[in-house]
Structure 1
Amino acid sequence: MTDVLIIGAGPAGLFAAEQLSAKGLEVTVADKMPSPARKFLMAGRGGLNLTHSEDIDVFLGRYREARNFLDPMIRAFSPNDLRDWCHSLGEETFVGSSGRVFPKSMKASPLLRAWLRRLDQRGVKLLTRHTFTGLTAEGAALLKPEGGEPKTFPCRALLLALGGASWPRLGSDAAWTPALEEHQINISRFQPSNCGFLVAWSEILKDRFAGTPLKRIALSLDGSQCSGEALLSAKGIEGGAVYALSAELREKINSNGSAELLIDLRPAMSIDTVRQKLSRPRRKQSISTFLKKALKLNPVEQALLREVGPLPEDPEGLAARIKALPVLCSAPYDIDRAISSAGGIALGDIDDGLMLRAQPGVFVAGEMLDWEAPTGGYLLQACFATGRQAAIGIQNYLSNIVEGERA
């Protein structure tokens, strides 16, 4: 019997293993993939965004409905604490122009290698190719080795850090959901988050502009707004600015069947400035040439203006379209294309130490819990913070058992 069995070798599980092994506990980490932290490595391919440097109250507001749940955990393990932890592994960090925090190497692999060395030095055992198949009536884990039959792995405490439902080929496929529902654990259905959205573009726009970026734009939906960039694809619209509004877009679609996203093609200009520029004499210029010279509207922006219908002839109507171009989104992209997922174990089903109320001795952490966050470092920060909180909960649980046995 091991002291703690952790199932899921992502950031939440590995960080909990680090915290627990530092206390002298015997820890085993199991994962169904051939190697640990597959999704963590994928996140680092374009530059590992660890966390964000903004004010902590603004930071916590990014978690929307889950803010109250995550607030004490993230204050206890803050973005600065996460940076200090990276430094302790020999990976220096820096703050980018957007406020996002990255390791100086910009990669996940050097950090992960140093992390795994630390865990190995502390005696943490890693079992790969072991799939979680359920819990016994007593709350013990059932693990199926590749090519073998499921068997019980005894432990004094169990932590599940199995991830959400995005990027299933990297291990997060939510296949654990039925196994926990059998034990009366309430789980909200998983939905895509930080994803693109389907739009019924015309064939002309798809043929000419699929894969074209939209730069320095602003998107808005029902009062929520985000500036940044987006990308047109053959099936819709995606990119950083879209991801920032993905929760609002998804919920609007769930309620109404579709959502009208508004694109401001010239957010740096007021509508009055745009109108004045459009009021200049056009003379013999074509409308395309005029728009290019007056507002530097490029071909893809002009094509988007025409997607809605014929261009208004009056400056006021044309300015209104440029500043609030409607794009009808019908559905999010499939969850296997999403950066993260929404949904998971109901927060009311776990206590302050992240132990399942219905299963004493079984703890949960990371993206399998019902919270979501935009990209920008918020996802990883919460995974680390919940992993740490679960480790504290496990320490307290095991201490109480020892004290009970002594009594």
Structure 2
Amino acid sequence: MAAEVQAQGGARVTVYDAMPSAGRKFLMAGRGGLNLTHSEPLSEFMARYREAAPKLQATIEAFSPEALRAWSEALGEPTFVGTSGRVFPKAFKASPLLRAWLRRLDASGVRFAFRHRWTGWDDEGRLVFRAPDGVAVVTANATVLALGGASWPRLGSDGSWADILAAKGVAISKLRPANSGFTVAWSDVFRDRFEGQPLKGVALTIGAHTVRGEAMITRSGIEGGAIYALSAELREAVPSLGPATLSIALRPDLDAAALTTRLSGTRGKQSLANFLRKAAQLSPVGIGLMQEAAIVSGRPLAAFSPAELAHLINAIPVQLTGVAPIDRAISTAGGITFDELDGSFMLRKLPGVFAAGEMLDWEAPTGGYLLQASFATGAAAGRGVLAWLARS
């Protein structure tokens, strides 16, 4: 995006990419349909960026969700709003959009140099790359760093830039997993039976924060959209409190009294699992979670009274033992602090060097917010470069 803005402004641009081809993480994002942005009102949209919202407000207003949708349509990929309010290209994948984008960049004169991994600057301030033919040294009038966070390093963004910039005196907030899963010490029986099973229509709570949505049981823990929406709170709770307790409500639309009434009927010859499935409309994986909680409590689930079962259904305690590794997270928290940037996304300590995207210190849940801020900050850095070149 930075390259496109610069080329449209008349600059000669080369994109140096560590990977053999462009947009590998963009293509990964498209595996689930390429959620470009979200259709909710901008005030609600901006709140998703939490404490970074004031720093991103003007930037996203300048390249808004509506502008992003128009940009996609101009590339031949019209968008639609899903039932959740998320925005997708009608093709529902990333590859057609990326191909059209690369064709337009090529037509505007943008050059790509692949398999060039940036390793810093030499003593004369030139950019240094590890390239197929050895070390490549490049003199640039302006540089945009768009190096990503540290998640999915096999796609090119490994966070190694943090040490390079820190050595130049740039303040870097520690890179941490965002939109990540969490580890849970499931019993062998539960793990083997329910790995890969979804929890639908649940409410997840940590402290004062509650999110409704879906989650997924993994062999080592739990992940999914509702977990990602709480990942910042969960991530902070785990190291500070040791194992953190996540509360899961399986039937959040039914209160304890209504559930108790349903569960007070005669079970007859039904198994407890079958009774819970019919009386409270619980899924097998939900009943499995209740069994896990009963094991921890030291009481068999069959010994729970109807009122106790009703309470447990909407307050299943799940002990989170840790955060899934950063290389498996969807995105990264931390990065270059905004105080290190001027209003044009130029690094104050490195005149002529700009930064954009996930390497900046912001985070947001999935839902279109990650790509939107990456596009918007890229466009802002591109505008900043043009202004810098005009002054130089």
Question: TM range, normalised to the smaller chain?
Answer: over 0.9
State the alpha-carbon separation in 2 of the partners of residues 295 and 138 from structure 1. Answer: 70
Give the partner amino acid of 2:200: K
Deviation at 1:258, TM superposition (A): 2.3
1:21 matched residue in structure 2: 7
DSSP 3-state at the match of 1:36: coil
Which of 93-102 and 236-245 deviates more? 236-245
Cα deviation digits, residues 317-368 of structure 1 (max 9, x gap): 2111101111111111111111111111111111111111111111100001
2:92 to 81, 106, 109: 106
2:254 matched residue in structure 1: 269
1:360 matched residue in structure 2: 351
Instruction: Give the TM-score, by structure 1 length.
Output: 0.92
1:244–1:375 Cα contact (<8 Å) kept: yes
1:78 matched residue in structure 2: 64
1:132 matched residue in structure 2: 118
1:198–1:333 Cα contact (<8 Å) kept: yes
Give the partner amino acid of 1:289: N
Asked whether 1:142 is paired with 2:128, we answer yes
1:303 matched residue in structure 2: 288
Cα deviation digits, residues 171-194 of structure 1 (max 9, x gap): 010111211111011112211111
Deviation at 1:137, TM superposition (A): 5.1
Deviation at 1:213, TM superposition (A): 1.5
1:253–1:331 Cα contact (<8 Å) kept: yes
Deviation at 1:267, TM superposition (A): 1.6
DSSP 3-state at the match of 1:44: helix
Give the partner amino acid of 1:330: T
Cα deviation digits, residues 365-386 of structure 1 (max 9, x gap): 0001111111010000000110
1:90 to 76, 85, 103: 76
Deviation at 1:284, TM superposition (A): 4.3
1:196–1:238 Cα contact (<8 Å) kept: yes
State the alpha-carbon separation in 2 of the partners of residues 108 and 55 from structure 1. Answer: 25
Give the partner amino acid of 1:156: N
Which of 271-280 and 114-123 deviates more? 271-280
Cα deviation digits, residues 370-404 of structure 1 (max 9, x gap): 11111010000000110111112112212222xxx
1:213–1:231 Cα contact (<8 Å) kept: yes
Deviation at 1:234, TM superposition (A): 1.4
State the alpha-carbon separation in 2 of the partners of residues 283 and 122 from structure 1. Answer: 74
1:86–1:92 Cα contact (<8 Å) kept: yes
State the alpha-carbon separation in 1 of the partners of residues 155 and 321 from structure 2. Answer: 27
Asked whether 1:393 is paired with 2:379, we answer no
Aligned length: 386
1:139–1:362 Cα contact (<8 Å) kept: no
Cα deviation digits, residues 167-223 of structure 1 (max 9, x gap): 100001011121111101111221111111100001110122112111221111112
DSSP 3-state at the match of 2:204: strand
1:139–1:361 Cα contact (<8 Å) kept: no
Which of 271-280 and 336-345 deviates more? 271-280
Which of 114-123 and 251-260 deviates more? 251-260
DSSP 3-state at the match of 2:185: coil
1:196–1:243 Cα contact (<8 Å) kept: yes
Structure 1 unmatched ranges of 5 or more = 1-14, 402-407
- What's the RMSD between the two structures over aligned residues? 1.3
State the alpha-carbon separation in 1 of the partners of residues 272 and 91 from structure 2. Answer: 48
2:231 matched residue in structure 1: 246
1:135–1:180 Cα contact (<8 Å) kept: no
State the alpha-carbon separation in 1 of the partners of residues 259 and 352 from structure 2. Answer: 62
Deviation at 1:273, TM superposition (A): 1.2
Deviation at 1:152, TM superposition (A): 2.7
DSSP 3-state at the match of 2:31: coil
Asked whether 1:380 is paired with 2:371, we answer yes
Would the alpha carbon gap of residues 59 and 139 (structure 1) be closer, same or farther in structure 2, given more than 3 Å must change? farther
State the alpha-carbon separation in 2 of the partners of residues 398 and 138 from structure 1. Answer: 20
Instruction: Give the TM-score, by structure 2 length.
Output: 0.96
Which of 153-162 and 293-302 deviates more? 293-302
Kindly report which structure 2 residues correspond to 1:135-174, keeping only aligned pairs within 5 A, or say none.
135-136=121-122, 139-149=125-135, 151-174=136-159
DSSP 3-state at the match of 1:275: helix
Cα deviation digits, residues 214-266 of structure 1 (max 9, x gap): 12211111121222211111110111111111111001113212221111111
1:347 matched residue in structure 2: 338
Deviation at 1:135, TM superposition (A): 2.2
Asked whether 1:335 is paired with 2:326, we answer yes
1:62 to 45, 48, 54: 48
Asked whether 1:213 is paired with 2:204, we answer no
1:196–1:338 Cα contact (<8 Å) kept: yes
State the alpha-carbon separation in 2 of the partners of residues 198 and 388 from structure 1. Answer: 37
2:178 to 172, 182, 193: 193
2:316 to 313, 325, 328: 325
State the alpha-carbon separation in 2 of the partners of residues 289 and 278 from structure 1. Answer: 12
1:205–1:303 Cα contact (<8 Å) kept: yes
State the alpha-carbon separation in 1 of the partners of residues 341 and 20 from structure 2. Answer: 30
1:237 to 222, 225, 238: 222
Asked whether 1:369 is paired with 2:354, we answer no
State the alpha-carbon separation in 1 of the partners of residues 89 and 270 from structure 2. Answer: 51
Cα deviation digits, residues 98-126 of structure 1 (max 9, x gap): 10000000111111111111111111111
Deviation at 1:147, TM superposition (A): 4.0
